[in-house]
Structures are given as structure tokens and as C-alpha cells.
Amino acid sequence: MSKGTVLICLSGADHIRYTTTADDQFPDADTRLQSSVYCRTQDGKPKETGFFLKELGAPLIKVLEAGYDVQVLVQFANPTGEAPHMDPLSDNKIWFMPSFSEKEAEKELLDRMGVENNFKNPTKFSDISDNQLQSYAGVLIPGGHAPMTDLWSDKDMGRILLHFHKEQKPTATMCHGPIALLSTKVADQDSPWAYDGYEMTCYSNIEEKTNELLFGSKLQFKASHNMGKRLLTSNICTIASAEDTLRENGAVMKEAFPMMPKVTVDRELITAQQPSSAVAFGEAFVKALTKG
């Protein structure tokens, strides 16, 4: 018998997007989105992104083993109903050492989810009603760079997260996923940030520097890290690194040594640093669901 349904929210992005603002034209807090271009690697190609395999697969296995049903929800950049995109960087055995068979097991699970569940035909955030949200036991947002493109500024993502926050239902997100928590400021612009003062963990600045070396270019969404709390106003403006932005908006950041496991639990919120944390992250989420 199922213990309930877990909602999995994924980004609709398949490339890293870079937003820029004209600060000289909008010097006050009313900073408006001016343009959007793709972050490019050293060879000039747009950098692909999406969900990170282990950060979705490992906790999903833990949730299913614990007896929960799963509905996969993706916010699309367009209304075509296309399946979520996997970050090709995550399809590498290096993330699964020493258990290389885990990678194939997780990919097989996601293939099965595409047949048995709605993974390949996900629901849009806007189609989930407030009444439907009452039926979910918890929410999971995996990482990959994709949430830096769309989830942080999506009003319906914020509406969904505010439900879980107000009901104190388990809310789990890791790596770059915690940037989605800022969407609650878009959904409710008249209240303090829902997660102000929460301890949390995300992909660290030091680890992001490693990505820049790997990509052969600066990750351009970091261009305006000095904008501080102006990052989220009544209008959408550019974002910084996940760690900087979360800290500047009131989070108490807890980071481990690069590429070492780190899971942080504060009230209903479970966060983790990067793929090496994925199994422990899934276990912590299931523990919170069981308590709930």
C-alpha cells in the first residue's frame, strides 16, 4: 500500500541561460530583465544542462523503496509537453564510483518512470491547483545547473513551495536546486522570504569555480553577484551563484569541503551539496516523510 505521493519538480531548461540587466538605466530596485543569452563553452557551443542523473535517481530510489508514489512535475519553457532533459555531464561513471552499476540502474528506473508514470509527459506547475497540493506528502527538487535558469523566478514554483513551507511538509532540494527556494519571493512579494534564517547547503562557490575550468569559460549567470538583495524585487533581474544569492537573501549557508557529502536539515527543509550527497540526501528526505 502506498504511503502517499511525492511531488518531484524539475526545471524545463536544457541549456544554461545568462540574464543581464541594464543597471545604469535602472539604478533603483525596479531593475528589469533586459536580455537573455546562452552561456557558451570555450568552443562557442551553448552549454547543455538539465537534471543531474544521480541527484534525481538516488533519492527517487529511496523514496520508492520506502513505499511512496511519485508524480513527476516539470515546468516547461514552452507548452509542448516535452520530456525533461538530463545534463549530459551527469551520465558519467565518475559520479557513481565505486558502484558503477548504480548509473545504469538509475537510468533504467527513469525509463520505467516514463512508461509507468508521467516522467516523459509531465504536468506544468500552473496546472497543479492549491487543492491538489494538499494531497502531496513532500516535494523534491534535484539539481543540475538548470534551476538557475528558470525555477528561481517562477511564480508557480513559489506558490508550490509556499504550500509545503506553510504546512511544514518535507521539502528536499540539492546542488543548484535550492535556488528554487527564492521563487517564494516572486510568489509573495509582500512578506519576508519564507526561508530567511534557515540553514541550508547547495553547490559551493569553490565547486562552481571547478565548473568554470571544466567549461573553459565563466558561468555568466554569476556576473552580478554584487547586487545583493536587489536580486529579487518586484521585477525579475539577474542572479548570482547559488551560494552567494541564497546567503545574500538571508540563508545561513553550510558547506563542506568540495565534492564531499553534506546534508543539512532545518525544520521541514532538507538540502545537500552535490552528487556525492545524493544517497544520504534521499535517506534524510525519507526520514522526514516518515516523521510527517
Q: For 151-173, b where at least 16 C-beta lie within 10 A, e where not — what string?
A: bbbbbbbbbbbbbbbeeebbbbb
Most confident stretch, 12-16, 40-44, 111-115, 234-238: 111-115
pLDDT value of position 43: 57
Contact 202, 182 (CB under 8 A): no
Query: Stretch 87-94: mean pLDDT, rounded?
Result: 90
pTM of the model: 0.85
Residue 241 zone, left/alpha/beta (φ > 0; ψ -120 to 50; rest): beta
- Look at residue 26 and tell me whether its pLDDT is greater than 70: no
Of 213, 208, 198, the closest CA to residue 268 belongs to: 198
- Look at residue 50 and tell me whether its pLDDT is greater than 80: yes
pLDDT value of position 175: 96
Task: Decide which of 32 and 83 is more confident.
Answer: 83
pLDDT value of position 66: 93
Of 31-40, 155-164, 180-189, which range is least confident?
31-40
Report d(CA 159, CA 154) in Å as an integer: 9
Confidence of residue 251 (pLDDT cuts 50, 70, 90): very high
Contact 12, 156 (CB under 8 A): no
Output helix, strand, coil percentages for the chain, rounded to the nearest 5: 40, 20, 40
pLDDT value of position 3: 83
Distances (CA, A) of 92 to 89, 109, 278: 6, 17, 15
pLDDT value of position 213: 72
Those residues whose C-beta lies under 8 Å from the C-beta of residue 14, and which sit 6 or more positions away, are 48, 49, 50, 85, 146
Confidence of residue 114 (pLDDT cuts 50, 70, 90): confident
pLDDT value of position 39: 56
- Look at residue 60 and tell me whether its pLDDT is greater than 70: yes
Average pLDDT across the chain, whole number = 80
Over residues 258-291, the pLDDT tens digits come to 889 999 999 999 999 999 999 999 999 999 999 8
Q: Is 5 exposed, middle or buried (0-12, 13-18, 19+ CB in 10 A)?
A: middle
Is the bond preceding 98 in cis, omega lying within 30 degrees of 0? yes
pLDDT value of position 150: 83
- Look at residue 16 and tell me whether its pLDDT is greater than 90: no
Q: In degrees, to the nearest 5, what angle opens at C-alpha 284 toward C-alphas 108 and 155?
A: 80
Unique residue bearing C-alpha cell 543569452: 37
- Look at residue 58 and tell me whether its pLDDT is greater than 90: yes
Task: Decide which of 28 and 243 is more confident.
Answer: 243
Report d(CA 42, CA 211) in Å as an integer: 12
Over residues 181-229, the pLDDT tens digits come to 999 999 999 999 999 999 999 999 888 888 767 666 665 554 333 333 4
In Å, how far from its chain's centre is CA 176?
5
Report d(CA 18, CA 86) in Å as an integer: 19
HSE on the CB side for 220, CA within 13 Å?
A: 19
Query: Stretch 41-46: mean pLDDT, rounded?
Result: 59
Q: Which helix (H) or strand (E) holds 37?
A: strand 33-38
